[in-house]
Structure 1
Amino acid sequence: MKSTHEIEERALLTDFQSGDRMAFDKIFRLHHASLVFFANRLIVNYDQIDAQEIVLDVFLKLYERKESFESLSSIKAFLYISTKNSCFNAIEKEKVRLKRVEGFTANFEEPDENNILSQIVLSEVYKELYQALELLPEQCKIIMQQLMEGKTPKEVSQELDISVSTINSQKARAISILKKRLSGAGIALLLLYF
């Protein structure tokens, strides 16, 4: 004979699998806080990565696969494994971004100087790049901003519901436009992203 707890778990799982919002909300409330804590522990040295955003994406994946779970414990395992993997992926992207920025700023650093001047120059170059991005046609601008955030063309195409070839052609178009508007340092910074 099944216990009341087992019956409640089975009912929650069945409701969740059928797309019931209340069931999803209950699962969300059961696991959200602990997953954010877990994600924050994994990304503790990377302040540019948002644990909340990672966890919300994981819950979206959970909902998209709701029919494939056999128990609440398999849901919990999926949530923790997916959060861990998403954190590791975000860390890898952040390492790549930091390496690009580090490589770019290394060109401006003077070994014996205070480095304030180079930081001002770098800030002005970023400002120039972002001002030029604002002048792009809307779709080019959106695509370039997402690509500069570290997203892959495939990720951007899925998010915007357009083909990867459209992403690549819009990127090429944007780079062509930006090359005409940017200084040499602005072009160098742009090329670090692409």
Structure 2
Amino acid sequence: MQVVLATHNAHKVAEFQQIVAQARPDLEVVGYDGPEPVEDGVTFAENALIKARAASAHTGLAALADDSGICVDVLGGSPGVFSAYWAGQKKDAAANLELLLDQLRDIADPHRAAHFTSTIALVLPDGREHVVEGRWPGRLAHASSGDGGFGYDPIFIPDGQPEGQERTVGGFSADEKQSQSHRARAFAELLPLLGAL
């Protein structure tokens, strides 16, 4: 059975395909090629629902949509829902990352706590809707490292790593990231609801 992922971001499609394949091999995640709705919500949940509703209406399929971002404690939870646009409307991932590092330049390690948040909305063609959230706690590095991942991954150091062997998500393998990420955590919450499919 197919479920459409409401994004034009190829990285997210690939990540969801891996996560879903491990948990529900009977579900095929397909990319969305329809019009991009205006994400004018002020929370991750509002934006996820906007995208999932649009994708389900356009395709007639059950739709998943993820709205996610990095939330930095010392910035009051920002960039948050503005993570993709932190450096402006161009959605320039490198510029977003550099701006965030610059804003935290003089902030010491004990105050660099952050977490990734993923909110996933599931909208079914019959109108039923579900929203779940996953959080991945950690802190921000002082510089980028690692060649993997995308977005803010190269500066995010997840909690729970052995001391002295800590890496940013940019240094994780795809399998490591899929098993621990905020999206994997949100999807674990969503899994029981996928029985509706």
Give the TM interval when normalised to the shorter protein: under 0.3
More strand, by proportion: 2
With structure 2 as the length reference, what TM-score do the two structures score? 0.24
With structure 1 as the length reference, what TM-score do the two structures score? 0.25
More helix, by proportion: 1
